[in-house]
Amino acid sequence: NNVEYYVTEDSGEFLRALSPLHVQKRFDKIAYAGMVLRQTSAYDEMCGQPEKTGSNMLEVPYGKNNLY
């Protein structure tokens, strides 16, 4: 229904993992319709480039692939 959820640990921190497969394994027993991974990069600002006016968000479709 076009609803976004942010996934956090019990401590309130955003979910972190060493690899996409670790994320998939943690969600193995949870039913969901779809999932995407989003990342924004601060690379330009770190290199001294001017801040961009648009978003550099990368969005990757993500789901169960049973590779773990």
Report pLDDT digits (tens) over 4-35: 888 899 999 998 888 888 888 888 888 887 78
Q: How many domains does the chain have?
A: 1
58 forms bridges with which residues in the sheet?
Answer: 39
Domain that holds residue 58: 1-68
What confidence score (pLDDT) does residue 7 get? Answer: 85
Closest alpha carbon to 15 in 56, 62, 47, 51: 62
What confidence score (pLDDT) does residue 33 get? Answer: 79
Whole-number Å distance between alpha carbons of 61 and 34: 8
Q: Indicate whether this model's pTM tops 0.85.
A: no
Percent of the chain with pLDDT over 90: 7
